[in-house]
Chain A
């Protein structure tokens, strides 16, 4: 497989990483999600641009990933299901998201666009991950006990992967159509 060459070539991989990052940054900026006001208006449920972008990304990503996987070009790496970690961590993240107004990726994008408080938020994230590394030995058991391994939607639904993808794609299209038509 030609991609094996890429996996082994560190410098090439780093360069591609940078290139994809630059593309990602440009797209975040064009999408408007590096703007604090747009992100906060989403959380206030006044402006649904962020939801539209995330749903479109899932729509495209889900279909392309499955096509490439079927072709044998890529392997997928779904994260394990862990209710206590996903829920507790998710809620802590959410409160931080509300206070800062950005998530990790958009923090860097916003900093690139001149947002000073985003830079302060980035320093906060460094402190936050460091605190996590400090106390990890004490919470490791609690977190690992909740690990249910990799669970994917098609396993839970007892349906074929293609059907699940089609259902989600249809739900996303319906949601996007509804948002456009109600002017959200």
Chain B
């Protein structure tokens, strides 16, 4: 809601990740990156949403250090109980999960911020549909991962 006030645009996190991936590609390949159709839609530039994403990192860091819950975590206990203490396995699957999230969020037109909070609040049917399928996919896959059902 706050974001609608500050910028006449709705909240979203995954768009900023698109912009950052474009900025990184531009570092390696130069201005030709701008030719990609998708980066024409979301040019690699720093906007307020990008700042918001950086803010989330800073805010959570301040809050966790303040409350004493800050801790370096490589293997969460729920994961370790089922899959053991291999950091390589955990990090590999975290990267793989991240790839699916990044790809899926852009395919669906938004993530848990843009669809599940901001979009649903604006009564957008597409956002309710996307949210339901985020959780159907998430619940089924998690049950398979941890219960093997």
Q: Chain A: residues with CB nearer than 8 A to chain B?
A: 3, 6-7, 13-30, 34, 36-37, 40-41, 43-45, 54, 57-58, 60-62, 64-65, 68, 73-83, 85-101, 103-118, 120-134, 136-137, 139-140, 143, 148, 150-154, 156, 161, 164-165, 168
Q: Roughly how many angstroms separate A168 CA and B48 CA in the complex, as a whole number?
A: 30
Q: Chain B: residues with CB nearer than 8 A to chain A?
A: 1-10, 13-14, 17-18, 20-22, 24-25, 36-39, 46-64, 67, 69-79, 90-91, 93-147
Q: Which residues from B are CB-within-8-Å of A134? A: 36
Q: Roughly how many angstroms separate A73 CA and B130 CA in the complex, as a whole number?
A: 28
Q: Which residues from A are CB-within-8-Å of B143? A: 43-44
Q: Which residues from A are CB-within-8-Å of B70? A: 113-114
**Cβ-defined contact, B8 with A3, below 8 A:** yes
Q: Roughly how many angstroms separate A73 CA and B72 CA in the complex, as a whole number?
A: 43
* A13 touching B6 in the complex, CB below 8 Å, given contacts A40-B146, A65-B1: yes
**Cβ-defined contact, A126 with B129, below 8 A:** no
Number of A-B contacts (CB under 8 A): 463
- Distance (whole angstroms) from the CB of A82 to the closest CB of chain B: 6
Q: Which residues from A are CB-within-8-Å of B5? A: 3, 68, 73-74
**Cβ-defined contact, B95 with A6, below 8 A:** no
**Cβ-defined contact, A103 with B112, below 8 A:** yes
Q: Roughly how many angstroms separate A54 CA and B25 CA in the complex, as a whole number?
A: 34
**Cβ-defined contact, B109 with A85, below 8 A:** yes
Q: Which residues from B are CB-within-8-Å of A57? A: 117, 121
**Cβ-defined contact, B54 with A21, below 8 A:** yes
Which of B24, B49, B125, B131 has a CB less than 8 Å from the CB of A151?
A: B125
Which of B4, B107, B120 has a CB less than 8 Å from the CB of A85?
A: B107
Which of A7, A93, A101 has a CB less than 8 Å from the CB of B100?
A: A93
Q: Roughly how many angstroms separate A124 CA and B128 CA in the complex, as a whole number?
A: 26
**Cβ-defined contact, B130 with A129, below 8 A:** no
Q: Roughly how many angstroms separate A90 CA and B100 CA in the complex, as a whole number?
A: 10
**Cβ-defined contact, B62 with A76, below 8 A:** no
- Distance (whole angstroms) from the CB of A127 to the closest CB of chain B: 5
